[in-house]
Structure 1
């Protein structure tokens, strides 16, 4: 799809004004074109991608089985432009037989309050936030009992992670009966790579942080979301439910943040669910702040 040079330039300027940590707005990719015009005569555009996740796909941990993602190009048109584009998208989605396990998704800079108003007006919910933390001094909390995870920790770590993922599904991703099977391959790979941390209490694993390394380069998928550089990705932090509130998560992350800094990370990032009663408070206290918000409507037919 072709986006006019003027509209793309306006989008880049808009992102730069919104948040200094946003990467340069990406150009339009291939996909289904969507166009609209505001009441004032301003043209806006978008690209729609459909993603179909087959049974057993790890993507089903966080995604609907069928998801339509909109990538807006509204420049500096604000609420009016996003409203016009979402109205056009609603008309487009009315032609789909989407089913219950489906979603309409838009990722947009978290600090754009005018766009947030448009998303809310069209029945979308902020279900996921990508939050970042710059490299800095470690927290002054006890780090005792924290170590790198080993391959023989897998069964304990899987049980803790699967239980936490089911809990997250209450307020974010859709609940899946096969959650354990979906998260197992990625978790095994992380343990094998030596980038996961566990905390032990009374001889048993009480919490785990599943971490990975990502390099953000211009033109790469990560480069569309993060400033350039080497980033630590915190895929999940899970604590045994009966031990929550005892500082185990903080101890794990204090150790992980020290390691990230020593390894030359520009910072770290993660995804959390705003409706989760535990996650936002925990991560904000760890120094993370929202960069991108993923707005969703489930099922897709509920877009209005």
Structure 2
């Protein structure tokens, strides 16, 4: 099977057997360089590598290294052996490039259920830093928190409170995942939050507005929790090639003050968000979480989310072995 299209078609058949929730089309970059590798008996596997640069002062720089070198494998029916030889060829290709020693990463996004490829990724030094997880849009029953906790929709006057809670989540995520705590992080967060809070419209057409629901939990009028959510039209969004088509709810940030964790605040914030998603007719909701985070995987699984794609990384990119 030497043809890239044949490899792609065979790979998609494998993916459908592994996980029916995977999209029908495997995403390939519009611009990239081919990578070829040989298995035994004259068989080959292939891939496309793509370089992306996130300049200083951009929002994506908060969840990405400045330079990423991403591999999109086409392995056909050979996930373990194919991934192994393709990563070797990828390493050889990077050796001919001026890859930065700092603030860089190699990246492979692969179906979470395809554990056959996991051994090869681990052997080459990759770490599962992030998972894209999905949830079926079922309404939830509201549970009343004890005490004086109140939930409400945030507005423009709440920007300071929202930024404070969002920064607390970013600082924690930078310890356990792919986020990067840049010197200008607070300013970048503030700019994004203010846009979200100014736009209060809800999705009513295929074109999803830039606005998004942001929920606050308060105890004695003091903010203790945040659920910063959004709407994604999968046909017109960078995450759309990883999920199915249609309107999706997106959980961008859930943050609860450390001293209030374990009291049900995060659960009740997500109940409000999930009911909002279901009422809007979303086909599902998705989010990114860090497998190395000691609290979020268990929490999100209890909320009905399960991994769809795992984002494997090596930092710096020169550490690929």
- Tell me if TM exceeds 0.5: yes
Q: CA 1:220 to 1:56, structure 2 compared with 1: closer, same or farther past 3 Å?
A: closer
TM-align CA RMSD: 1.8
Alignment correspondent of 1:212: 230
CA contact (8 A) 2:99 2:317 kept: no
- The 5-angstrom pairing of residues 279-298 of structure 1 reads 279-298=296-315
Question: 1:155 aligned to 2:172?
Answer: no
When residues 220 and 272 of structure 1 are mapped into structure 2, their CA distance, relative to the original with a 3 A threshold, is closer
Q: Please report how far the alpha carbon of residue 220 of structure 1 lies from its aligned counterpart in structure 2 after TM superposition.
A: 6.1
Question: Gaps spanning 5+ residues in structure 2: where?
Answer: 201-212
Equivalent position to 2:184, from 161, 164, 178: 178
Deviations 1:51-99 (A, max 9, x none): 1111111111110011111111111112011111111011112233322
Please say if residues 23 and 223 of structure 1, whose CA atoms lie closer than 8 Å, have aligned partners that are also in contact: no
Please give the alpha-carbon distance, in whole angstroms, between the structure 2 residues aligned to 1:88 and 1:259. Answer: 47
CA distance in structure 1 between the partners assigned to 2:162 and 2:21 by the alignment: 34
Q: CA deviation at 1:191?
A: 1.6
Q: Output the CA distance in 1 between the equivalents of 2:16 and 2:130.
A: 22
CA deviation vs aligned residue, 1:187-223 (integer Å, no higher than 9, x gap)? 2222222311111111111111111101223x86444
Shift of 1:42: 2.0
Secondary structure, aligned partner of 1:145: strand
Checking the alignment, whether the CA contact within 8 Å between 1:38 and 1:80 is kept in structure 2 is yes
- 1:300 matched to 2:299? The reply is no
Report what 1:97 is aligned to: 99
| CA distance, structure 2, for counterparts of residue 228 and residue 149 of structure 1 | 29
Aligned to 1:21: 21
Structure 1 runs of 4+ with >3 Å offset: 219-223
Aligned partners of 2:70 and 2:106 also within 8 Å: yes
What displacement does 1:25 show?
A: 2.9
Q: Which residue of 1 aligns with 2:80?
A: 79
Cα distance in 2 for partners of 1:41, 1:183 equals 51
Secondary structure (helix, strand or coil) at the match of 1:64 reads coil
In 1, distance between residues paired with 2:308 and 2:7?
22
Describe the SS at the equivalent of 2:42.
coil
C-alpha contact 1:166 1:179 (8 A) present in aligned 2: no
Q: Which moved more, 1:196-205 or 1:138-147?
A: 138-147
SS in 2 for 1:141: coil
Greater Cα shift, 169-178 or 13-22: 169-178
Do structure 1's residue 257 and structure 2's residue 274 form an aligned pair? yes
**Cα separation, 1, equivalents of 2:267 and 2:172:** 19
Count of residues in correspondence between the two structures:
302
> 122-131 or 71-80: which moved more?
71-80
The more displaced of 109-118 and 92-101 is 92-101
Residue 49 of structure 2 aligns with which residue? 48
Assess if the C-alpha contact under 8 Å between 1:237 and 1:249 holds in 2: yes
* Partners of 1:35 and 1:43 within 8 A in 2: yes
Mapped pair 1:62 → 2:63: yes
